[in-house]
Amino acid sequence: MITVVGAGPAGLAAALSAANAGESVELIESGARLGGQYWRNLPNSIVVDQQALNHDFQSGKVLREKVQAHPNITVLLNTQVWRASHEEGISILHTISGGTTREIRTNKLILATGAYDRTLPFPGWDIPGVMTPGGVQALLKGNNVKAGKKIVIAGTGPFLLPVATGLAKYGVDVVGLFEANRLRRWIWQLPALLNNISAIKEGASYLHTLRKFKVRVQRGYAVVEAHSGSDGNLSAVTVARVKSDFSVIEGSQRKVVCDVAAIGWGFTADLSLAGNLGLMQQVSLLDGGTYVVVDEHQGTSQAGIFAAGEITGIGGSKLSLAEGEIAGSAAAGSETNTSKKRKLAKFASALLRTYPVGPNWQSWLKPETTICRCEEVTLEIIEKSVLDLGATDSRTVKLFTRCGMGMCQGRICGRSVNDVVARISGKPASDADRVSSAARPIASPILLGELAQIPIVD
C-alpha cells in the first residue's frame, strides 16, 4: 500500500504511476475535488466554460478521470492530515475528515502538498481587497466568483498571465498588469527557456488573449502601496517603476484606482507535513525558498518517504507531473525515467532566474507597516525586538513579538520575517532559522473536541 498526500498534478501523477505498477494506492486530499490548486475546478452543478479558466484544463480532466477510475486507487477527499510523524521506517498520518479522526500507518508515503502564493508585506497590504493571484483565481475557478470589478494584477512570475487572462475572459476589467521584472532578464535566460517551446507558446497565447482585451503587461513596475476608501476597502494602489533590486525610482509613483489588487511574488512550498515527518529541507539559491531535499528518484532523507511537486522546488505543473510519475514508480519499486524531469527542471530554474524577488522590496515598508497580519506586528516592533531587546534570529523575534504565532502560523509572513530580521540584524538568516519558521507541529487546525475523541491505540 502506497499513501499519497495531495491530489494536485504531482499527487495525481504519483498515484497513477504507482497504481499502474500494480500497487494499491490511497490518495488523500484536503479539498472536495481532485486537481489541487492548479486544476481547481467547479462542482459539476455549476456550468461554465472551464476551458476558458484553465489553459491546461483538458489534460487535468483526463488525469483526474484516470485516477478516479483506477481499481487500485482509493481516493479520500475532504481529508486533512493534521499531524504526521515518522519512526523506524513507518509514517503515521493523523487525519480528520468530517469530524472523524483516523490514523494511517504506511511504509511508503509520497508527499505532494504543493505550494501557495508568496506574499510580500507593503504599506496597506492588510486592506480588504488586497489579495493574491492564487486567491483571486481560486474564487473564479472553484466558486465561479469574480473577486472585484476593477482588478490590478501585480507581482512577478509567469503565473500572473493566466490569472489575468482568466479574469479578462470572464469580463472583469483588468485595469493593470504589472510585472516587476524587466524583459531583459527573459532574454538572458533565453537558451534555457527555449528548451520548452510548449510553455513559451502557452505564454504567447495568454499575451495574445490579453491584447484582445486591451490589457498590456507593464514590466518593471510594482504595487508599492495600497489605499483604502471611506468604507475601509481598497480604493487604489500606488504603482511605481522599480529597479532590478526592486527599489523605487523616485518620481515614478502614480495611483491606479481599483477595488481588488491581486499581488503575488511566486510561490512558497507548504512544508508543514514535511516538517512533521522530519524531512531534510534546504534553502534554494535560486529563489531563497525552503524545499524538501530529494534524490533523483524523489526519495527524501527518511526511508520510505518520497516527495514530488512544488515542495521540492517551484517548477510548475509539468515538472510536478514528471516528478509525481517518478515518485510513484520509485515507491512501487519500478524503473524510473528521469530525463524528462531533468529537462523541465532546467526550464523551471531559468524561469526562477527570470522572475527573482529583488531584496529592496523592504524599502517599500514604513515603520508602521504590518508584517504579521494575524498578530498585527509592525516593522517598528520587529526592529525594536532586534535593536533593543537583542533578538538575533527570527525565532527569537517571534518569541518576543508574537509575529507568526497567529492563525496562519507564519504561512504568510514567515519568509518575510526571515528577510526583515536578516536586514535589521545585518546577519543573513541561517537555513535552520528559515526551516524552523515553517515548522508547524499541528499541520492544520483541529477541534479540541475532535482531538479529545481520538481512540487510544497501543
Residues that bind another protein (CB under 8 A): 83, 85, 87, 94, 103, 375, 385, 388-393, 395-396, 399-400, 402, 405-407, 409, 440-442, 445-449, 451-452, 454, 456
Instruction: Report how far apart the first and last C-alpha atoms of the chain are (Å, whole number).
Output: 22
Among candidate residues 47, 114, 115, 31, the one with its CA nearest the CA of residue 79: 31
Quick one: DSSP state of residue 454? Answer: P
Give helix 394-401 / helix 414-425 axis angle, nearest 10°: 110
| 203 vs 406 by CB, closer to another protein | 406
Phi and psi at residue 193, in whole multiples of 5°? Answer: -70, -35
| 20 vs 30 by CB, closer to another protein | 30
The beta strands (E) that lie in 285-337 are given as: 290-292, 305-307
Q: What gap in Å lies between CA 5 and CA 27, rounded to an integer?
A: 6
* DSSP-assigned states of every residue in 186-214: HHHTHHHHTT-HHHHHHHHHHHHHHHHTT
* SS3 state at 138: helix
Among candidate residues 413, 379, 122, the one with its CA nearest the CA of residue 242: 122
Query: How many of the other CB atoms lie within 10 Å of CB of 105?
Result: 12
Alpha helices in 402-444 (DSSP H): 414-425, 431-436
Query: How many of the other CB atoms lie within 10 Å of CB of 138?
Result: 17
Q: Do 5 and 103 touch, CB atoms closer than 8 A?
A: no
Query: How many of the other CB atoms lie within 10 Å of CB of 299?
Result: 18
Among candidate residues 56, 54, 57, 93, the one with its CA nearest the CA of residue 76: 93
Residue 57's alpha-carbon distances to 7, 31, 32, 161, 317, in angstroms, are 15, 18, 17, 16, 12
Query: How many of the other CB atoms lie within 10 Å of CB of 408?
Result: 15
Q: How do strand 173-179 and strand 217-219 relate by DSSP bridges?
A: parallel
Q: Report the DSSP beta bridge partners of residue 217.
A: 177
Q: Do 416 and 438 touch, CB atoms closer than 8 A?
A: no
